[in-house]
Structure 1
Amino acid sequence: MSDDAGGRRPSIRDVARLAGVSHQTVSRVLNEHPSIRPETKQRVQQVMSDLQYRPNRAARALVTSRSQTIGILSASSEQYGPASSIAAIEEAARRRGYWVSTANIDAHDPQSIPDGIAHLTAQSVEGVVVIAPQVRVFRALAAQHLDVPYVTLQSTGLDPDHTLTVDQIAGARLATKHLISQGHRAIYHLAGPQDWIEAEARMRGFLDEMSANDIPTTAPILGDWTAQFGYYAGQELLRVRDFTAIFSSNDQMALGLMHAIRDAGLDVPGDISIVGFDDIPEAAHFWPPLTTVRQDFSELGRRCVDLLLGPHDGDLAPLPTIMPELIVRRSTAPLR
């Protein structure tokens, strides 16, 4: 149906001419104005479909002051937790008719933070979600002045008025309490990297639960989230083997631990029990299947979007904290 002989993209005026309406009417259809008659709306939408017309979102934002876009500032999108959070936010945003634009920043480069914010601001985003697990990012962010609503995914008191979190401390306590309930007392903690907010919170939860049960602890081992580090740490720990259980701060390091234990001729959970954190999709298929702490990323995404845009369809305002869940599988067992 297009008469686009010159190769240019169809414009709003092309749609108006072929639909027999004014371009203001087409604009009202695009903005879902309630005054448009259903038959007119249907005719305009049919022409847009025939022409494969796509509205200029930037121009539309200038007119309506609404870009229908949420920005995400992310410093660690390659890790399972942040990546899952981004995917969940994108899904929840689409259900509300919004798109998501992600700016990936370098946590080690302070200048990338204002650059990332400027990139999102230039797109007229209506709100920003900050997924930056490192403490130093939030300190740099505090120096910025966001003039749109924003939510941070973190579990500290760094910015309590704009925070949404899965309670990492409670999740770590669930994992540690489970091992203690199985009779274990010699429990090690393989932590995540220093400066990661989640790693610090999970370490604190482990230490709090051990202290609450009057069980002495050794210093947690600082890892890097990878299965390779878990394997290396397992090899080193097994030189002495003065423990019967390990709480790993994520599932990938737990996988490496299980590999090292098996290579040493020992059994999980017969000789050593292992608990992870995150419940990655593969955790149920480790051998043995991994006991771990599950975070509800779908709920996290929904609440993020509701905090930015307001509750949907009369829902109540979302609570700022989501409780995790312990998933018990076959990598833990009572102490022999």
Structure 2
Amino acid sequence: MNGRPPSLRDVAERARVSHQTVSRVINNFPGVRPETRERVHQAIDELGYRRNNAARTLVTQRSGLIGIIAVGSFLYGPTSTLAAIEEAARKHGFMTLLATLRDVAPGGLTEAVNDALNHDVEALVVIASREALLRRTAELQLNVPLIVVGPSPDDVDDLMTLSVDQAAGAASAIDHLAGLGHRRVVLLAGPQDWVDAQQRLSAAERACERHNIATQVVFGDWTAASGFAAGQELLASWASDLSGSLPTAVFAANDQMALGLLAAFNEAGVSVPSDISVVGFDDIAGADHFSPSLTTVHQDFTALGFKVMQATLAALGGEKPDLAPVSAQLRVRASTAAPRV
């Protein structure tokens, strides 16, 4: 090709199809036979074809960009969701423009949104769980679709939000403990300026009330260190309790805090689950190799990321997105057992 980059027409000639067919394959349009689609992809790989996105934007008036703003956390859940959205976007022919903010300051969000719009993004995805930011996001006036990844506060109705079903996940953890016979449970809650922490705590409290389980609420900040500190405080209070009615299980609002609890109990010689059961939330990588392996609520962040992309595509097409939450699944492992009689 005399040193020039391969063109769409070169791909068409190599694959023995029309250039319109190549365009349909590149843009993931339906109606192309699988064997033809495979032949086109083979020609693309052989020639090293790269489409000219600048020219495509001029012709189609579409940038092929999805803006993603991740705010306030680089914990397991938000990071896993971000990776899944980016992967799903590429599979649908979009590239992502990412902005990360470490706090929820109003100016930072406004600046990130304006930067994304200045790059002509076709839609915006905001990954956020803190209540203040969700309320601020609801006030944005945009001319592109906006999808928020995270649970919505109960009184915010004008946001398109997608998340894992936090309430159902927390309830499943308590149902599991109740089924084992636990009737005194500590709830180690996450920071209450996070909506998912609010929903996990309120759902756990409702489930405990339904099962006639006595509760004690302790607060952490998502970190293993806060779980360890909570565990030490609980051990100190239990050591001075002569009532004989000590809790027999702890539901931690995330796995990192559950890990801290396990460390505190292990240091004090308290056996899990013989002396006390522990349940977490998230099913982070390695939770099945905690000591003991952690019973926890699994969040399918890959499914969530792909569902966010499907909702974005629906909104771009003028359709009503499916905003039903992704199901949470309890993973029962060795950290829970029936209470000692």
TM-score (norm 1): 0.82
**Residues 178-187 or 269-278, more deviating:** 178-187
**Equivalent position to 2:132, from 133, 136, 139:** 136
Deviation of 1:203 after TM superposition, in Å, equals: 0.5
Return the alpha-carbon distance in structure 1 between the equivalents of residues 218 and 116 of structure 2. Answer: 38
Deviation of 1:49 after TM superposition, in Å, equals: 7.2
The answer on whether the counterparts of 2:223 and 2:256 sit within 8 Å (CA) in structure 1 is yes
Q: SS at the partner of 1:124?
A: coil
Q: Which runs of 5+ in 2 are unaligned?
A: 30-35, 239-245
The answer on whether the counterparts of 1:172 and 1:203 sit within 8 Å (CA) in structure 2 is yes
Q: SS at the partner of 1:151?
A: strand
Q: RMSD of the alignment, in Å? A: 3.2
CA, structure 1 residues 58+202, in 2 after alignment: closer, same or farther (shift >3 Å)?
Answer: farther
Q: Deviations over 1:210-236 (max 9, x none)?
A: 111233322x22211111111111111
Amino acid at match of 1:301: G
Deviation of 1:202 after TM superposition, in Å, equals: 0.4
CA, structure 1 residues 2+146, in 2 after alignment: closer, same or farther (shift >3 Å)?
Answer: farther
The answer on whether the counterparts of 2:162 and 2:325 sit within 8 Å (CA) in structure 1 is yes
Q: Which runs of 5+ in 1 are unaligned?
A: 5-9
**Residues 1:303 and 2:307 are matched in the alignment:** yes
Deviation of 1:285 after TM superposition, in Å, equals: 0.6
Return the alpha-carbon distance in structure 2 between the equivalents of residues 72 and 89 of structure 1. Answer: 9
The answer on whether the counterparts of 2:73 and 2:102 sit within 8 Å (CA) in structure 1 is no
**Equivalent position to 1:277, from 281, 285, 305:** 281
Return the alpha-carbon distance in structure 2 between the equivalents of residues 310 and 143 of structure 1. Answer: 22
**Equivalent position to 1:254, from 248, 251, 258:** 258
Partner of 1:225: 222
Deviation of 1:276 after TM superposition, in Å, equals: 0.2
Amino acid at match of 2:77: G
CA, structure 1 residues 127+212, in 2 after alignment: closer, same or farther (shift >3 Å)?
Answer: same
Matches within 5 A, 1:1-336: 3=3, 54-58=50-54, 60-156=56-152, 157=154, 158-159=156-157, 162-218=160-216, 220-241=217-238, 242-310=246-314, 318-336=322-340
TM-score (norm 2): 0.81
Return the alpha-carbon distance in structure 2 between the equivalents of residues 169 and 11 of structure 1. Answer: 53
Deviation of 1:57 after TM superposition, in Å, equals: 3.0
Return the alpha-carbon distance in structure 2 between the equivalents of residues 92 and 144 of structure 1. Answer: 25
Amino acid at match of 1:333: A
Deviation of 1:30 after TM superposition, in Å, equals: 5.8
Q: SS at the partner of 2:181?
A: coil
The answer on whether the counterparts of 1:76 and 1:82 sit within 8 Å (CA) in structure 2 is no
CA, structure 1 residues 105+47, in 2 after alignment: closer, same or farther (shift >3 Å)?
Answer: closer
Return the alpha-carbon distance in structure 1 between the equivalents of residues 159 and 192 of structure 2. Answer: 25
Query: Percent of aligned pairs with the same residue?
Result: 42
CA, structure 1 residues 160+205, in 2 after alignment: closer, same or farther (shift >3 Å)?
Answer: farther
Amino acid at match of 2:328: P
The answer on whether the counterparts of 1:127 and 1:308 sit within 8 Å (CA) in structure 2 is yes
Amino acid at match of 1:203: L
**Residues 261-270 or 159-168, more deviating:** 159-168
Deviation of 1:27 after TM superposition, in Å, equals: 10
